[in-house]
Amino acid sequence: MQIVEKSGEGLSRVYGVTVPVAELSERLEARIKEIAPTLNVKGFRPGKVPTAHVRRLYGKALMSEVVQQSLTESTQKVLDDNKLRPAGEPELKPEGDIEAVIDGKADLAYELTVDLMPEFEPVDAATLSLTRPVYAPTEAEVDEAVAELAKQNRTYEPRTGKTVKAKDGDQLVVDFVGRVDGEAFEGGTATDVELVLGSGQFIPGFEEQLVGAKPDSDVTVKVTFPEGYQAAHLAGKAAEFETKVKEVRAPVDAPADDEFAKRLGLESLEKLKELVKGNLDEQYAGASRFKLKRALLDELDSKHDFPLPPKMVEAEFGSIWQQVEQDKAAGQLPPEDADKTDDQLRKEYRKIAERRVRLGLVLAEIGRNANVQVTEAELNEAIRREAIKYGAQAQEIFNLLRQNANAQAQLRAPIFEDKVVDLIVSKAKVEDQAVSKDDLLKEDDLPAGYAE
């Protein structure tokens, strides 16, 4: 085997690798001798098939195995001999006629390109100073949340009288048949649907046209499906819904009292308030952690400057840009991006891609140095949480995820990141700072330099 370094600029390395045809042939012969005693071929006693006949029958298939094995082993040899830490899978580019290699007539030659992990010393976590914003819910806020909960659990009673007309906030019981170009479409027909006017349950324009409807009346609702509608065959199409209003119901608010709490399965209103306060505390603690993590990442970003693996940056940018293009096509770009050119957006989002890669490498290195591990129990819990989203298919999805290494890697990554973040926070100097709820929940801007 011959290995030649062709170029070594920055974090990229290119090697030329040649495995002589004689070595491949030797491996092929060894493989043939290995399997010949196990073969059962018509016309020969079991285990007595001549190697020449095995070569005629299975030579090409076995040589393909040999070539694949040689690629794997020679690639690993390049990495080991040169003490390389790859930042991703090496790229292999065959040279010459691969069919001639399979036929045993040519050397296996290929070019191996690999990006390397940068060498750098992560910042000492003990030198970091961070501020953690904190907020505690007030009694008035808890009361407001309980009142909102009561509102969400309101009941509806039929309106009575000779001049009953549906109002915003009323619940209607309706049947409808939807048609596009005069033809009923799949999923456009339903009966006894309970629809609260103003709830936004249906597509824009539908509910508004039912305001003022009377019980036992017929209304033709004319709407246009949004361009980004989930059912692609209906997106942007004009439709008419022949709607039968069967009943109009008025909302009846449930008072936030002990009886209401008992209907929710709790002992008293006081217990309900305790539960609501606990949920608010948890929500604000999560927001506080998010802010602290963001501040930590900003600190780590500002304290590290090293070359980044080009392919890693390109992959991250490609993922970001694909989402940008989807948002742009759907008219959902953030307002601050709406008037920018593609060149401006590419420049800004490439900086963000570089930040993500840099932070990922820093967290990975800190975790590696501290021997941070994701346990099987933690991974299984993450798989369980993911699988349970699929309802009745949860067990099937769980089993599939347990067998999918790539899926497990995607689930393992955020667990590893959170454990490293917790490790750094435990060593850093962290000061709690009381802030308003608005300040805690508002979205942070990117640090200076990441957007114009």
Per-residue pLDDT reduced to its tens digit, 242-297: 999 999 999 988 789 999 899 889 999 999 999 999 999 999 999 999 999 999 99
- Looking at the structure, tell me whether residues 215 and 267 fall in a common domain: no
Confidence of residue 336 (pLDDT cuts 50, 70, 90): confident
Provide the CATH number for the domain around residue 268. 1.10.3120.10
Q: Are 4 and 112 in contact (CB under 8 A)?
A: no
Asked if the structure places residue 406 within a domain, the reply is: yes
Please report the pLDDT score of residue 452 as a whole number.
46
Maximum mean pLDDT: which of 42-56, 72-86, 141-155:
72-86
Of 115, 138, 172, the one marking the end of a domain is 115
Count of domains forming the chain:
3
148, part of any domain: no
- Same domain for 435 and 368: yes
Say which residues have a Cβ less than 8 Å from residue 440's Cβ, sequence separation at least 6.
133, 134, 135, 284, 287, 288, 291
Residue that wins the pLDDT comparison between 331 and 19: 19
Give pLDDT tens digits for 180-209.
Answer: 999 999 889 999 999 999 999 999 999 999
Task: Record the pTM.
Answer: 0.72
Here the CATH number for the domain that contains residue 185 is 3.10.50.40
Closest by CA to 54, choosing from 34, 75, 74, 26, is 34
Q: What is the mean pLDDT of residues 116-123?
A: 94
pLDDT of residue 131 exceeding 60: yes
* Main-chain phi, psi angles of 426, to 5 degrees: -65, -25
Tell me which of 350 and 392 has the higher pLDDT. 350
242 plus 284 within the same structural domain: no
Instruction: State which of 228, 252, 276 marks the end of a domain.
Output: 252
Predicted pLDDT at 449: 66
Residues 91 and 8 in one domain: yes
- Buried b / exposed e over 3-29, threshold 16 CB at 10 Å, is eeeeeeeebbbbbebbbebeebeebbe
Burial-class residue 39 by CB neighbours within 10 Å (0-12, 13-18, 19+): middle
End-to-end CA distance of the chain: 52
Q: Are residues 235 and 276 in the same domain?
A: no
Give the mean pLDDT of 288-312: 95
At 346 the pLDDT is: 94
Of 198, 218, 252, which residue constitutes the final position of a domain?
Answer: 252
CA–CA gap between residue 82 and residue 408 (Å, rounded):
30
Residues 288 and 410 in one domain: yes
**Are residue 297 and residue 432 in the same domain, yes or no?**
yes
Which residue segment(s) compose the domain that 38 sits in? 2-115
> Is there a domain that residue 139 lies in?
no
Residue 339 has pLDDT above 90, yes or no: no
Pair (305, 410) in one structural domain: yes
* Lookup: tokens for 192: 């006894």
Is the confidence at residue 448, as pLDDT, over 70?
no
What confidence tens digit (pLDDT) does each residue in 377-395 have? 999 999 999 999 998 899 9
- Which whole number is the average pLDDT over 91-104? 92
- The residue assigned the tokens 């899978």 is 89
* CATH code: domain of residue 21: 3.30.70.1050
pLDDT at residue number 49: 80
| 424 and 281, same domain (yes or no) | yes
| Percentage of the chain exceeding pLDDT 90 | 78
User: Does residue 131 sit within a domain?
Assistant: no
Please report whether residue 25 resides in a domain: yes
303 and 218, same domain (yes or no): no
Cβ-based neighbour number of residue 195 at 10 Å: 21
Kindly state whether residues 273 and 195 are assigned to the same domain: no
Alpha-carbon distance of 70 to 411, in angstroms, equals: 32
Q: pLDDT-derived band of residue 24, with 50, 70 and 90 as boundaries? A: very high
Identify whether 126 is part of a domain: no
Length of the chain: 452
DSSP 104: T
Query: 275 and 242, same structural domain?
Result: no
Structure-token match 């509608």, residue found: 229
Write down the mean pLDDT value for the chain: 92
In a domain, 161, yes or no: yes
Torsion sign, CA atoms 350, 356, 358, 360: negative
Is 181 part of any domain?
yes
Closest by alpha carbon to 205, among 190, 187, 226?
A: 226
Q: What is the pLDDT of residue 61?
A: 92
- The helix (H) or strand (E) run that includes residue 292 is helix 269-302
Sorting pLDDT into bands at 50, 70 and 90, what band is 451?
low
